Amino acid sequence: MADEEQMRILAGGIDAWNFWRREHPDVIPDLRGADLNGFHGKGINLKGSDLRNVNFTKAELINADMQSCNLHGAILAKSNLSRVNLSGCFAVSVNFSEANLFSARARNADLGNCLLVKANLSGADLTKANLGGADLTSAVLWMRYFGKKPVVILKETNLAGAKLNYVDFAGVDVSEIIR
């Protein structure tokens, strides 16, 4: 269950939350099970937070620092996670369906058994990430963006047992994928 005091600080806005994080760097935020449906958290510092089972459906988490978070069982469906930092996070069984992960960083992240159905992963860095057993049906791995073609990075990424139905790998370097 989420820490009530921390939920009050979060309700005060992103600036208040980020200030509190700077003032209390040793405190591990506990937002477990919080309902943050539609939350606007552009640039929020959630680094190292316990976010298990949090509902972030349709949340705006652009440029959020979620590095080394525990997101097990969280729901981030239809969320905007552009340029979010998910590196080193534990995100097993997370629902990222239809989420926008454009240019997200998820190096060394454990995304095993995640739902990434119709997720936009163009430009995302998934180097050494575990996507074993994940469902990437119809996920977008590249797209035209202002004349450029940002492509997902899958260097040493584990895709063993992942569902890859209707995924277009055109232009994606798959030479170092672990199957």
pTM over 0.85: yes
With cut-offs at 50, 70 and 90, classify the pLDDT of residue 173.
confident
pLDDT confidence of residue 170: 82
Within 10 A of 88 (CB to CB), how many other CB atoms are there? 19
Q: Which CATH class is domain 1-179?
A: mainly beta
At 149 the pLDDT is 67
The one-character DSSP state at 63 is: T
Q: Is the pLDDT of residue 146 over 70?
A: no
What are the sequence ranges of the domains in the chain? 1-179
User: Phi first, then psi: what are they for 135, rounded to 5°?
Assistant: -105, 105
Question: Sign of torsion, CA 8 17 48 129?
Answer: positive
